[in-house]
Structure 1
Amino acid sequence: MSRRDSMLREMGIAPLWRDRASPSPQQATVEALPDAQAPAEASRPAAPVRVEAAPARAVTRVVTPKVTPIAAPSSTVSAEGLGWDELEQCIRACQACRLGERRTQAVPGVGDREADWLFVGEGPGAEEDARGEPFVGQAGKLLDAMLASLGLARGHKVYIANAVKCRPPGNRTPEADEIATCHPYLDRQIELIRPRIIVALGRPAAQTLLGGEIKIAAARGRLFQRKGVPVVVTYHPAYLLRNPQDKARAWEDLCFARASVV
């Protein structure tokens, strides 16, 4: 059994099925939109699920949505012009919002600073807060398996970050002003990395990156644009642990993202 097949089994996709030739995605322009709120991560043990082979999801042309932003763009934080080391120092020392009061440590992100792929979640959970790294624990293991299924690995052409850098108390949903305050950090990370593609993991991350109300079912299979960078929306690993029946759909989304890399 190949390493890729082993990773697909780890994702709970069995019997194994291989990606069919994916159509080239139709490029569609969607205006970059302001931030949106995002709940903190949670995780539960995964249960294996059997799925049957399915063709790649058809590409849908996207039109610019008319939405009402749910997070104000203003912020007391400025990350403009900062290099990587300065940016991470600012994130670790930040006390610009209430999230800095009870955190153990800020979680800037991890990975290749010249990554082709940027994966964005919503916020650190308890284990991330303790270890200072995003996506650890069961959700992190599943994300690593998802990466491996594409021939990717954490830290190699991949960067992983969150919309907010500090854990909300009790893993509650971050408030709109907290997201708005923290957003310049993510924005600067995107500017520094200059990824070829961004994968939004879950609805909160998608809303933060694209703005307005985003529904996963409607956003899947669509190629969005954020300041010229393609954005693909899929499920958060923690959601997949609770709903393993959607792992096959997540695999479709990853194949679509791979076909979208320019």
Structure 2
Amino acid sequence: MISADNLSPGQLAALLAFHADAGVEWLMEEEPVDRLAEFEAMKAARSESRQQASASQPPARSEAAPPTRQPASAAGGHARESRAPAPTANAPAVAIPDAQAVKEAQFAAESARSLAELRLAMEGFVGCNLRNSARNLVFAEGDPSNGVMIVGPMPYADDDRDGQPFSGRLGDMLNRMLAGIGLSREGVLLSNVVPWRPPGNRVPTAREADICRPFIERQVALAEPKHLLLLGNFTARFFFGGSDTIHHLRGEWRDLQMGGHTVQTLATLHPQDLVSAPINKRFAWQDMLAFKARING
């Protein structure tokens, strides 16, 4: 175990960053604690307190006791009933209902007239719980003028740390995929369906996807790409619908209506699929060649 007493502030910061990137959200205590013994002691204490309470409790009455009356004042006033005040409890914080969060996201997205305005609107949006655990908002990056946009599912640890889409090892893999067909990340627009990293790189829930949908659809509408490349299972299902896997959805061109214009769209495997299973590279290469042929006309 690493002792924090022997680490410099810089080393501590690096260690915390490493744990955050690995998805660690809880820290262990310095000394071991026998939780099983604590639990048994707690059960014994509760059992003993219940026995004492039942022994000292008076027998239950069949009728409720009438309210007590205060004696009349010396001036001859009427007797008044004395009732115990209603107990008060601290009410929990009210969360934004899902439907309201979606409406607020739609309003914020539709109000933006440029990608810069949309980024400001998303930075001020508080209706998605993912922003509470993420380090950064990972917004679209690149050049939309060439008419090519690439969308992934969500930021990963490297993206969340750098505040940029497709960073780190997965970004390197995407760079090689693009270079193979004569493209670069600087010449396309890169983005994600969900702009905040889910804890532990888990798949976004349907609720989170619904709340973030207005933002990614508005990005596509404002960028007006001619060709859209979708990466991975989640992204393809998000735009195409259904529950088919990426191996059934990949390699087939579809027309999507986004922002009043038609976008020619192709789905392929995510760089993570290629890193975890290199055999997938041959399928991705077929899709990238088809993408190149279409954008070259």
Q: Which consecutive unaligned segments of at least 5 residues does structure 1 have? A: 1-41, 43-71
Question: 2:10 corresponds to which residue?
Answer: none
Select the residue among 108, 112, 123 that pairs with 2:143.
112
Select the residue among 102, 117, 123 that pairs with 2:133.
102
1:104 counterpart SS class? coil
Select the residue among 200, 204, 221 that pairs with 2:251.
221
Is the contact made by 1:107 and 1:166 (CA closer than 8 Å) also made in structure 2?
yes
Q: Percent identity?
A: 34
1:114 counterpart SS class? helix
Question: 1:203 corresponds to which residue?
Answer: 233
Select the residue among 269, 275, 296 that pairs with 1:235.
269
In 1, the alpha carbon distance for the partners of 2:165 and 2:251 equals 26
Is the contact made by 1:107 and 1:128 (CA closer than 8 Å) also made in structure 2?
yes
In 2, the alpha carbon distance for the partners of 1:92 and 1:115 equals 26
Select the residue among 166, 188, 197 that pairs with 2:218.
188
Alignment of 1:58-207 (within 5 A): 74-77=102-105, 78=107, 79-82=109-112, 83-156=114-187, 158-207=188-237
Equivalent residue pairs, number = 191
With normalisation by structure 1, the TM-score equals: 0.69
Is the contact made by 1:92 and 1:107 (CA closer than 8 Å) also made in structure 2?
no
Question: 1:61 corresponds to which residue?
Answer: none
Is the contact made by 2:236 and 2:249 (CA closer than 8 Å) also made in structure 1?
no
Is the contact made by 1:117 and 1:198 (CA closer than 8 Å) also made in structure 2?
yes
With normalisation by structure 2, the TM-score equals: 0.61
Taking CA–CA contacts closer than 8 Å with sequence separation of 6 or more, which of the two structures ends up with the larger relative contact order?
1
In 2, the alpha carbon distance for the partners of 1:76 and 1:91 equals 11
In 1, the alpha carbon distance for the partners of 2:196 and 2:247 equals 28
- Counting helix residues as a fraction of each chain, which structure ranks higher? 2
1:76 counterpart SS class? helix
| Post-superposition offset of 1:231 | 1.0
Is the contact made by 1:235 and 1:250 (CA closer than 8 Å) also made in structure 2?
yes
Question: 2:278 corresponds to which residue?
Answer: 244
| Post-superposition offset of 1:132 | 0.4
Letter in 2 for 1:213: S
Letter in 1 for 2:174: L
Letter in 2 for 1:113: P
Alignment of 1:10-29 (within 5 A): none
Letter in 2 for 1:231: T
| Post-superposition offset of 1:99 | 0.6
Q: Deviations over 1:111-160 (max 9, x none)?
A: 0132421111000111111110011111100101111111111121x011
In 2, the alpha carbon distance for the partners of 1:184 and 1:112 equals 21
Q: RMSD value over aligned CA atoms?
A: 1.9
